[in-house]
Structure 1
């Protein structure tokens, strides 16, 4: 009969290596074969324990090299753990939970099991049903209490096993959407690691080293591997906690664990550069959303640094195999994604700059100023000391600008980054991403125009937006991309309206009536805005009747009503050369204002949604007929 060690290695090879080559028709073939061997190992180890018949509960795990009984129990726990993992991966979740809990009992960490929900009392169907009702907490068998930690649970031979079991149970309960239970297991894994660091001086054993025999020289290598393996398990605990806190609605805690995961990966030099860069860039978007731009910039700079370090490896001349091609594709996409995140960072920074230029509440502005020292402290805690990124950070500001000269470099950097991203996300291959990037470029111009004092130059910036968006919408089939075309048509309408306002402001500042060329330009811009607002509204029409819906959907009601409001305003701004044309324009304006008023009267719940616009519309519905009558009198 093969030795225990040989049987274990054979089972591990089936599970870890050969399972990747299983056919789609038999996806679990190798894992089932590994399970059979692990079951045989379990029987042999059980017989050994019965034959030894020794109570090793008093710290025997730390003496496995002396009496052998502790090693047998540790091996039994490892085999049961593997059976649990295989059961989970083959979708036998209740069986997997049972094995993992049993492994904890063997290790001596049975006190932590009560913090979860036992499948012996709660079936999978009940778990899923409770999760759908949002009542999963009612299924907890008892209130979680922090149980004491047994010395055997943090013994060098078993601490990795105990943490692995809790990590796996954390994943299991997360997949059941019972995140509070998942968190308790992950907190326990965290606690076991901390207690091991405090109490144990011997290096930990890896799970696999329990089934190997080595000489003194090899044992030193095992010690190093054991330390690395334990650190990696602890990093995984942090990673899973980040996901769980996100699901529990605690984003700050989730972000902290995300950052700690990235920090630990850097320290251990055990990470995939592509994944690390993407995760750091994604985390940056969370912090920029909280207006913690210094932290966000550091994360993005770190992502760029790690990615650039990987570039040489990707560019090394190699035979064009499938793996090499895939690696290069991953790199190019990651490069575009990081560039896109930089572009979004610049856009958010510009938009915040616009908001702060006109603060609504002086107390709110004061709280922002008072909050900055705390942000500086947080920045130091969230720095990756392993990376030197000051050169990358110096390329763009980390605080909102106050004038055109301060925001222009941010605009240029954002435009450069988004242009880089657009080169990968082409319209032919990545329609949605390409459209989103073009819209972000348009918003960059919009934010910069806010700080431009010259009406003429501001109008040119809006013209850049028009050129970008018009070229885009002309390439899209509205039948297949109706939602995207709606967005673009609406933004074009708003842009043309803004350009018209700029031209009107130039005329008003001159203190005279518009010249024929000025009047023509104003009317062209207003007519273009009207045209695109109508394109947007036409896309909302009922396919069968061809009419506007009697009730707009929740996500389109305000944009649609605002479009009617703008149409009323735009018709009234057209420059007319005679009274008759002016009367016709005002009649169109009145008709659109009435549409908004009548809709809100039919749907009273919309009145609060359109409070300011509705008040203006009601007033115009009263005033415009009087003005039209005055014009008729003058034309007689």
Structure 2
């Protein structure tokens, strides 16, 4: 019979290496084979434990298991842990939970087992129901966060194993969408690591080394030392906590753990430059330093990619992955600039009487930058390219706009409309929003109109190329934004005419009418997309996500018809009549659906007033013109 060590190595190889090459028709072939060997190991170790008659107190693992029964129990816990991981990865979640909890009991950390909604007690269906309800019922009082830590749980031979169990249980409960229970296990893993650092002076062992002879301890599939392995496990704990806090609605804590994960990877020099850059850039919405760090690490990886000369599938994949990462980091830079510009606009809008100052609610960007630093990286040159806080005037926001536009343009070169339609559209819309924010600060009406024209050019190209049958929601967004943009351009032209103190000249009137008509056209395109396909009519009740946009569109249509410059009295009356019908449409809808009145309070008040005034105005106009 093969030795325990040989059996373990065979199972390890099947689970860790050969499983990656299993055919699609049998995706778990190697894992099932590994499970059979682990079950045999479990049986052999169980017999050894029954035969041994040695004191198994808290010091059983203190000497790395050299006292016999301590090593056997540590091996048993390791085998049960592997069975738990295999069960989870083969979608046998209840069995996986049972094995992982049992491994913790063997180690002596039963106090760390969370007693949330357990499939062992109520079944997977009840667990799924609890997740859907957002409820994490406790069948027993949970003590995992306050339970004392036994010496066996943080012994050098088992501390890595204990942390691995809690990390895996954290993943398991996260996949069930029960994040509070997941957090308890991850917090316990964190506590085990910290307690081990305080109390132990002996280097930890890897799980694999429990089945290695002394001569083999440093050679195996796991070629890292026990210290490195433990640090990796702790980094994983932080990574999982970042995800869990994000789901629990705690973005600051999520950001802190995400940053700490990246910091630990950087310090250990154990990371993939592409993945690290993407993760840092994704986190960058809260700090400019992270974006600069992502660009720094990515630029260091560029030289490595450029030296790849072989024309193989693997090389092509690496080069493609780098190009995509570069585009994604560029998108994050562009979004960061857009957020700064939008915050600049918000700060420039005067607060209403009695309303708290917006300054009090703005994040302290520079403070966040200082909190989320990577001390190993010098990125001040990259940071200086973009401001860390919102601007107050055109001169301050223009550099932010230019940087954002440059980054998004670079990203859009990778995300082409032909190959990445959704991403291309999203980037183009963000570029449009950059122009919109800059126009807010532009003092010249004429230059402001040109900025909106750039938005029209960007968006018109998209709506002409996209098939509304497949991109209905995107087309709605673009049509709506085009309508708003043309309306803004019309307002600029009207302001120019009014500033001159005279009636519009024929060329000016023509331009105003073209802009107003274009806005009307795109608002109608948006509303047409909401029509019932069976009846061809507007819905009697708009869906919640389209309710306010649709009613605001009717409001704008009423206003736009009234702004058209008429060439004859009859045309003037027709325009006013169209305006009245659109205002009535909104009033009637809100009267039939009273819950909308609070949603449309300001617009509804204007519409009610116009419904009263416009008929009088039309009668007076008829009397004057004798129509």
Category of TM-score, reference length = shorter chain: over 0.9
Q: Is the 8 A contact 1:115 1:145 kept in 2?
A: no
How far residue 65 of structure 1 moved from its aligned partner, in angstroms, is 6.1
- Aligned position for 1:321: 312
Q: Is 2:326 the counterpart of 1:335?
A: yes
Q: Is 2:296 the counterpart of 1:305?
A: yes
Distance 1:616 1:503 in 2: 23
Distance 2:263 2:394 in 1: 37
Q: Is the 8 A contact 1:114 1:141 kept in 2?
A: no
- Aligned position for 1:2: 2
Distance 2:62 2:187 in 1: 24
- Partner-residue secondary structure (3-state), 1:61: coil
Distance 2:118 2:509 in 1: 77
Distance 1:618 1:363 in 2: 27
How far residue 365 of structure 1 moved from its aligned partner, in angstroms, is 6.8
Q: Is the 8 A contact 1:567 1:592 kept in 2?
A: yes
Equivalent residue for 1:401, pick from 391, 396, 399: 391
Distance 1:427 1:631 in 2: 51
Matches within 5 A, 1:45-124: 45-64=45-64, 66-113=66-113, 115-116=115-116, 118-124=118-124
- Aligned position for 1:470: 460
- Aligned position for 1:282: 282
Distance 1:363 1:306 in 2: 47
Structure 1 residues 363 and 266: alpha-carbon distance in aligned structure 2, compared to 1, 3 A threshold: farther
Structure 1 residues 471 and 621: alpha-carbon distance in aligned structure 2, compared to 1, 3 A threshold: same
- Aligned position for 2:571: 581
Q: Is the 8 A contact 2:119 2:126 kept in 1?
A: no
Structure 1 stretch 417-426 or stretch 221-230: which is displaced more?
221-230
**1:594-633: per-residue Cα shift (whole Å, max 9, x none)?**
1111111121111111111111111111111121122212
TM-score by length of 2: 0.95
How far residue 536 of structure 1 moved from its aligned partner, in angstroms, is 1.4
Q: Is the 8 A contact 2:341 2:437 kept in 1?
A: yes
Distance 1:412 1:498 in 2: 22
Distance 1:483 1:217 in 2: 59
How far residue 389 of structure 1 moved from its aligned partner, in angstroms, is 0.9
Equivalent residue for 1:595, pick from 556, 568, 585: 585
Q: Is 2:379 the counterpart of 1:389?
A: yes
How far residue 510 of structure 1 moved from its aligned partner, in angstroms, is 0.8
Structure 1 residues 318 and 466: alpha-carbon distance in aligned structure 2, compared to 1, 3 A threshold: same
- Aligned position for 2:506: 516
Q: Is the 8 A contact 1:122 1:139 kept in 2?
A: no
How far residue 147 of structure 1 moved from its aligned partner, in angstroms, is 1.2
How far residue 362 of structure 1 moved from its aligned partner, in angstroms, is 7.9
Structure 1 residues 519 and 123: alpha-carbon distance in aligned structure 2, compared to 1, 3 A threshold: same
How far residue 230 of structure 1 moved from its aligned partner, in angstroms, is 0.2
Structure 1 residues 352 and 114: alpha-carbon distance in aligned structure 2, compared to 1, 3 A threshold: closer
Equivalent residue for 1:630, pick from 609, 620, 623: 620
Structure 1 residues 578 and 120: alpha-carbon distance in aligned structure 2, compared to 1, 3 A threshold: closer
- Aligned position for 1:538: 528
Matches within 5 A, 1:121-132: 121-132=121-132
Distance 1:114 1:523 in 2: 68
Q: Is the 8 A contact 1:109 1:150 kept in 2?
A: yes
Distance 2:79 2:65 in 1: 19
Structure 1 residues 626 and 371: alpha-carbon distance in aligned structure 2, compared to 1, 3 A threshold: closer
Distance 1:111 1:616 in 2: 65
**1:457-515: per-residue Cα shift (whole Å, max 9, x none)?**
11111111111111211111222222211111111111111111111111111111111
- Aligned position for 1:349: 340
TM-score by length of 1: 0.94
Q: Is the 8 A contact 2:334 2:404 kept in 1?
A: yes
Q: Is the 8 A contact 1:179 1:244 kept in 2?
A: yes
Root-mean-square deviation (CA, aligned residues, Å) is 2.2
Structure 1 residues 172 and 379: alpha-carbon distance in aligned structure 2, compared to 1, 3 A threshold: same
Distance 2:561 2:61 in 1: 85
Structure 1 stretch 93-102 or stretch 514-523: which is displaced more?
93-102
Structure 1 residues 493 and 160: alpha-carbon distance in aligned structure 2, compared to 1, 3 A threshold: same
How far residue 328 of structure 1 moved from its aligned partner, in angstroms, is 1.5
Unmatched 5+ residue regions in structure 2? Answer: none
Distance 2:597 2:360 in 1: 36
- Partner-residue secondary structure (3-state), 2:532: coil
- Partner-residue secondary structure (3-state), 2:493: helix
Structure 1 residues 228 and 359: alpha-carbon distance in aligned structure 2, compared to 1, 3 A threshold: farther
> How many residues get paired?
625
Q: Is the 8 A contact 2:281 2:294 kept in 1?
A: yes
Distance 1:370 1:177 in 2: 31
How far residue 370 of structure 1 moved from its aligned partner, in angstroms, is 9.7
- Partner-residue secondary structure (3-state), 1:607: helix
Distance 2:223 2:10 in 1: 23
Structure 1 stretch 73-82 or stretch 498-507: which is displaced more?
73-82
Q: Is the 8 A contact 1:205 1:226 kept in 2?
A: yes
Structure 1 or 2: more helix by fraction: 1
